[in-house]
Structure 1
Amino acid sequence: MDRYNVNKSIAHYINGNSILLGLLMKRKLDPLRITWQQLAVLMACSDEGGTCTVTEIASLLVTDLPSATRLVDRLSKKGFIARKRSELDRRSVLCTITAEGRKILRRGASVREQVLSASLTPLTTHEQQTLQKLLTKLMSHLEQASSAN
């Protein structure tokens, strides 16, 4: 019988850490009525000057367009994002953070920073920097590989 040792693979550890970090974020963000993914949308729009397209959100969050659209829909219903059609390209939807969205973004970003800081305490600053470089390198490679097919 073949043995695959799934619990010893790098993918197992990357996925496991992602799931556990997501659970911690959910627990801490629940009082704000926002998910980790919705906070990421607000952060992405903020990084783009407060306004970005759904296509840009999908790209920045490494997700598909329908998923990004659903995230924007939920944020719009909560009053955190205003949507409007682009005057330059009617197919494109512009998403702008509202004043209420900015308040939630500030509070959510603070929670995110606390969770990440607490989660990384077992690692030295040098180890954290090395981990970030390695994960960035791997993600870049995987993005290239996935777009090649």
Structure 2
Amino acid sequence: MAAPWSARLAELGIELPAVVKPVGSYTPALRVGDLVYTSGQIPVSGGEVIIQGKVADGAEGEVSPEQANEAARLCALNALAAVHAEVGIDSVVRVIKVVGFVASAPGFSGQPGVINGASDLFGEIFGEAGVHARSAVGVAELPLGVPVEVEIIVQVR
């Protein structure tokens, strides 16, 4: 890519948020060699959890797959903020792996579509360098009652 990733973010009108403060005994991101691993990132904006509940198809009072997809996108932005704080966004060579967890109501099996919110964001920002391996896992509960959590591994210079 000719321009740095920070320029691509500006072109897309995307601003990286502040790094989400850990809710436990861990660090948001850790560099080992040429890889940066993030801790699981949840849908927090401005220091507040923005959505809670389990993901379901059409269930009253639950989180819709579309809402969860948007939450996964926010989780991905929070993961990138953690990477940026650790090494600078322009150090990213490529996204290697995305792991997404979806708090799923009984019978919900659309986890891949939910985690596409994160994957699609990486494609928008990084193009071919955003193509990654991925897992999308349904779970019973997530921290603070959120519907989705995303962690990533990126290769850096």
**Higher strand proportion:** 2
**Higher helix proportion:** 1
Greater C-alpha radius of gyration: 1
Judge same fold: TM > 0.5, yes or no: no
TM-score for both structures, normalised by structure 2 = 0.24
TM-score for both structures, normalised by structure 1 = 0.24
**Greater RCO, CA 8 A, separation 6+:** 2
